[in-house]
Amino acid sequence: MKLENRKYIIILFILIVGVLYSSRLFYMQVIDDTWVLRAQEIAEKRKEILPPRAVVFDRNGRKIVSNKTYYNLMFIEDNITQLDTVAFGKLINWKPLEVRERFKEIKEGEGVYFNKSNGKKTSNYQTQRAYPFLKELTLDEITTIALHLDNFPGFYEEVTSMRSYPYSNGANILGYLNEVSREEIEEDRFYRPGGNIGRSGIERFYEKELRGRKGIKYVVTSAMNNAIESYANGKYDTIAKQSPGLTLSMDITLQAYGELLMQNKKGCIVAIEPKTGEILTMVSAPTFDPNLLVGRKNINLNYPKLSKDINKPLFPRPLQAEYPPGSIFKLVQALIAMQEGVIRSTSGFPCNKSVVGCHDHPNAAGVAQAVQYSCNPYFYAVVKKIIQQQKKRNNFADAEIGLNLWHKYMNSFGLGNKLDTDISGQRPGLIPNSKYYDRIYGHNQWAFSTIRSISIGQGEIKLTPLQMANIAAIIANKGWYITPHFVKSIGKKGPLPIYLKRNQTMVDAVHFSSVIEGMRRVINEPGGTGSAARLEEVVVCGKTGTVQNSQGQDHSVFIAFAPMDNPKIALAIFVENAGAGGAWAAPIASLIIEKYLFNKVTNKDSEKLIIETTLSNIRRP
C-alpha cells in the first residue's frame, strides 16, 4: 500500500511541475511580451532620428534662422573590435594618443553615479550606448572618413544639423545652442549625448516648440551588427517631424539698422507695436554676429573672447541693465497724481530752484507745460502730494501709506517686476516701497523729504530699457498694454494666450490726454527738449531724460511714440555716457521711427553723424 501511495504522489508531483512550467512558458511566450522584446533586442537596432529645428522668420517673412547639414562620427563601444588606433588616427588626422584621450574624455564627461545603499560609485558611461566621437563634420570631411568605416566596426556616420543665421543681427534676441549635459539627458529623454539645447534667447524660451518630434527606426542586424533590413517592414517606425516655423515680431531690417546706429556705443534701442505688444526691435550695444556661437568649435573659440570683452557684448542690456530712468519717469508721476486727484491737468507750480535744480524756463501752468519744460520743481511738488496726502497726522506714517499706494500704481505699469516676456534673463528693476526704506532708515524714520529724488527718476529707482519702452506703449494706448513679446505666431496658431491679454493700469484713460499733449510739445513746440526727434511727415510724441551718472558723463535717454493719433511704434533709446537726452537718444529715435513707418531716412546728415561717432564709453581691448 505504501509503495502504491508513493507512486501516485510522484506522478502528482510530476504533473504539478509540468503544469507550472507549461503555464510559465505560455505566459512568457503569449502574454508577457517583454521576453519577446528582449529577444528582439538581440537582433534589432533601435535608431533615434532627430528632426532639424524649426525655422524662424521675421515679421515680414524673411528667414532669419535656418539649418545647415553637418555630420557626427558616432561609435558604440560594444561593437568595436580590436581598434587599430594608429590606422584610425591616420583616417581622422589624429595621433594615437589623441584618439585614446578622446575616449577617456567621453567617459569622464558622463560622470559617476553614487549608490547610497552600498556606497559604491559606478560610471554613467554605457558601453552599449552611442556617443559622438567627432562632431560637426562637413560633407567633405565625413565623405573622406565614411569610405573607410568598414575597416572600423562600431563607428558610423550620423546626419545632424546646426543653426545658420542669414543676417548677422539680433544675437541677444535669438540666443544660441549648446551641447546638452548629462543631467539634461536624464531629465528629458528627448535628448541624447552630443545633442544640442537652447541656451539663451528665443532658442531657450521656445525650446520645446523648436526641437520637433524625434522618430524611431528599427532595423534587423546581423551577427556582425550590420543592418540587414527594416524590422517588420517598418511597421513600428515613427517619422521624425520638424516643428512648424516661428514667426517673430522683429523686423530684421530695422534690427540691422538699429545696430548700425548704435555701433561703437553702449546702450539700447527697444521698439514695440503698442496695440499688440509685439517687439519690433531690441538692440543691445555693443553686439556680435550670432554665427560666432554656432557649433561646439565656434563656441569654444569665440565665447571666451566675447565673455572677456570689456564692453560686454554678451550682456543683454535691454533686459538686464537697470538704469535710473531720469525725467521720462515724470510722465508716470503726473498720471498717478491726476488719478489720485491731488492735482488737475491745469495745476501749476512755480519753478523753485531752491527746492531742486532746474534749467531756465517759464513757470508751468499745467501738466502739459510741465512735461514740455521737464520742470524738476514741478514734479517735486507733484510727488510730494502723492506721498504726503495727510491721511495720518504722523508725517512718517503718512509717508508710508502714500509710498505704498504709489508703489501699487507703479506695479500696474509693469514696473518693479519682471514682465512676462518670451525671452529669458530679464531683471525686474527697482521700485522701492516702505519696507525698502525701513531697512535703510528704520521704521517711521523717513518721509518724502528723505526720498524726494524719486520724483525725477533718480535715487533708488531702476528700470530696464524694455520697461521704459513699455511706458511709451502704455501712454500711446492711454492706460493699457499687452505684455511685450517676440513671437507673433507658432506655426499658424498665433502667439501664446498670455500675449493676447490686455493689462490695465490703475490710471483712467481720461488723464492721458494732457501728458500726451506735453509729449507732443517736447518735440514740436519751442521750449521743448526733444526737437531733434521732430519729423515732417508725422507727429512724434516723446520725452527726454538726462540720467545722472556718478561714474562719468550722464546717460542720454528718450522715449516716444508715433503717430500721435493711432500710434504704430513706441520706443525707448538709452545711450550710456552720451549727455542730455535730446543730444543723442532723440535723434536716434527719429531715425528709427522714420525707417519703420516710411522705410526711408530723410536726415542723412544726422544719420551719418550718428553712425560715424564713437562715444568715449567704448574701450578698446
Question: Is the pLDDT score of 352 beyond 70?
Answer: yes
Amino acid 223: pLDDT: 47
Task: Output 194 or 571, whichever has higher pLDDT.
Answer: 571
| CA–CA gap between residue 330 and residue 180 (Å, rounded) | 47
Confidence of residue 17 (pLDDT cuts 50, 70, 90): low
Which has the closest alpha carbon to 356: 378, 371, 384? Answer: 378
Amino acid 229: pLDDT: 55
- In terms of C-beta density within 10 A (0-12 exposed, 13-18 middle, 19 or more buried), how is residue 315 classed? middle
Residues 6 or more apart from 606 whose CB is under 8 A from it?
Answer: 532, 587, 590, 591
Question: Is the pLDDT score of 182 beyond 90?
Answer: no
Which has the closest alpha carbon to 247: 53, 63, 499? Answer: 63
Question: Is the pLDDT score of 608 beyond 80?
Answer: yes
| CA–CA gap between residue 571 and residue 592 (Å, rounded) | 9
| CA–CA gap between residue 291 and residue 314 (Å, rounded) | 14
Grid coordinates representing 357 are 535744480
Instruction: Give the residue-averaged pLDDT of 530-534.
Output: 94
Same fold, 46-162+197-248 and 252-303+317-612: no
Report helix angle 465-476 to 330-340, nearest 10. Answer: 50
Q: What are phi and psi of 306, to 5 degrees?
A: -65, -40
Amino acid 41: pLDDT: 46
Beta-sheet strand order (sheet of 569-575): 278-285, 267-273, 569-575, 555-562, 541-547
Confidence of residue 220 (pLDDT cuts 50, 70, 90): low
Beta pairing, strands 555-562 & 569-575: antiparallel
pLDDT digits (tens, 9 = 90+) for 148-171: 999 999 999 988 888 999 999 999
Which has the closest alpha carbon to 397: 447, 354, 440? Answer: 447
| CA–CA gap between residue 560 and residue 593 (Å, rounded) | 9
- Which of 185-189, 196-200, 221-225, 390-394 has the least mean pLDDT? 221-225
| CA–CA gap between residue 419 and residue 464 (Å, rounded) | 10
By the 8 A CB rule, do 213 and 241 touch?
A: yes
| CA–CA gap between residue 152 and residue 62 (Å, rounded) | 44
Residues 6 or more apart from 565 whose CB is under 8 A from it?
Answer: 539
Share of the chain above pLDDT 90, in %: 69
**Helix/strand/coil (H/E/C) assignment for every residue in 147-203:** CCHHHCCCEEEEEEEEEECCCCCCHHHHCCEEECCHHHHHHCCCCCCCCEEECCHHH
Residues 6 or more apart from 218 whose CB is under 8 A from it?
Answer: 44, 45, 46, 47, 230, 231, 232, 234, 236, 237
Amino acid 194: pLDDT: 77
Q: Enumerate the domain spans of the chain.
A: 46-162+197-248, 252-303+317-612
**Helix/strand/coil (H/E/C) assignment for every residue in 53-104:** CCCEECCCCCEEEEEEEEEEEEEEHHHCCCCCHHHHHHHHCCCHHHHHHHHH
Q: What are phi and psi of 560, to 5 degrees?
A: -160, 165
Count of other CB atoms within 10 angstroms of residue 98: 13
Q: Cell 560633407 belongs to which residue?
A: 139
Residue type for position 282: M
- Which of 14-18, 19-23, 40-44, 540-544 has the least mean pLDDT? 40-44
Q: Is 364 left (phi over 0), alpha (psi -120 to 50) or beta?
A: beta
Amino acid 429: pLDDT: 96
> What are the beta bridge partners of residue 258?
none
Which has the closest alpha carbon to 148: 90, 81, 229? Answer: 90
Amino acid 29: pLDDT: 53
Question: Is the pLDDT score of 402 beyond 70?
Answer: yes
**Of all helices (H) and strands (E), which one includes residue 425?**
none
Instruction: Give the residue-averaged pLDDT of 440-445.
Output: 95
Q: Cell 513679446 belongs to which residue?
A: 485
pTM for the predicted model, two decimal places: 0.85
pLDDT digits (tens, 9 = 90+) for 113-143: 777 777 788 888 988 888 999 988 989 999 9
Amino acid 176: pLDDT: 94
Amino acid 27: pLDDT: 58
- In terms of C-beta density within 10 A (0-12 exposed, 13-18 middle, 19 or more buried), how is residue 547 classed? buried
By the 8 A CB rule, do 326 and 546 touch?
A: yes
pLDDT digits (tens, 9 = 90+) for 79-110: 998 899 999 999 999 999 999 999 999 998 88
| CA–CA gap between residue 592 and residue 585 (Å, rounded) | 11
DSSP state of 492: T
Instruction: Give the residue-averaged pLDDT of 415-423.
Output: 95
Fold classification of 252-303+317-612 (topology level): Beta-lactamase (3.40.710)
| CA–CA gap between residue 298 and residue 301 (Å, rounded) | 5
Which has the closest alpha carbon to 271: 509, 562, 612? Answer: 562
> What are the beta bridge partners of residue 114?
121
| CA–CA gap between residue 164 and residue 182 (Å, rounded) | 26
Amino acid 161: pLDDT: 85
Question: Is the pLDDT score of 617 beyond 70?
Answer: no
Question: Is the pLDDT score of 478 beyond 80?
Answer: yes
Instruction: Give the residue-averaged pLDDT of 226-245.
Output: 70
Question: Is the pLDDT score of 24 beyond 70?
Answer: no
Question: Is the pLDDT score of 59 beyond 90?
Answer: yes
Grid coordinates representing 131 are 556617443
Amino acid 35: pLDDT: 47
| CA–CA gap between residue 118 and residue 123 (Å, rounded) | 15
Instruction: Give the residue-averaged pLDDT of 446-461.
Output: 94
pLDDT digits (tens, 9 = 90+) for 257-314: 999 999 999 999 999 999 999 999 999 999 999 999 998 889 999 999 999 999 999 9
- CA separation (Å) from 605 to 55, 258, 265, 540, 587? 38, 16, 18, 20, 11
Confidence of residue 1 (pLDDT cuts 50, 70, 90): very low
Grid coordinates representing 132 are 559622438
| CA–CA gap between residue 410 and residue 404 (Å, rounded) | 10
Question: Is the pLDDT score of 581 beyond 80?
Answer: no
CATH architecture classification, 46-162+197-248: Alpha-Beta Complex (3.90)
Task: Output 179 or 278, whichever has higher pLDDT.
Answer: 278
Question: Is the pLDDT score of 370 beyond 50?
Answer: yes
- CA separation (Å) from 486 to 104, 281, 290, 319, 483? 43, 9, 17, 13, 10
Count of other CB atoms within 10 angstroms of residue 317: 27
**Of all helices (H) and strands (E), which one includes residue 337?**
helix 330-340
Instruction: Give the residue-averaged pLDDT of 235-245.
Output: 81
Across the chain, what does the average pLDDT equal? 89
DSSP-derived 3-state class of residue 246: strand
Which has the closest alpha carbon to 563: 584, 540, 534? Answer: 540
By the 8 A CB rule, do 230 and 219 touch?
A: yes
Question: Is the pLDDT score of 537 beyond 80?
Answer: yes
Dihedral, 424, 429, 435, 439 alpha carbons, nearest 10: 100
Amino acid 42: pLDDT: 41
- Which of 153-157, 200-204, 551-555 has the least mean pLDDT? 551-555
Residues 6 or more apart from 214 whose CB is under 8 A from it?
Answer: 48, 49, 50, 51, 190, 240
Instruction: Give the residue-averaged pLDDT of 528-541.
Output: 94
pLDDT digits (tens, 9 = 90+) for 326-351: 999 999 999 999 999 999 999 999 98
Instruction: Give the residue-averaged pLDDT of 586-590.
Output: 96
Task: Output 495 or 25, whichever has higher pLDDT.
Answer: 495
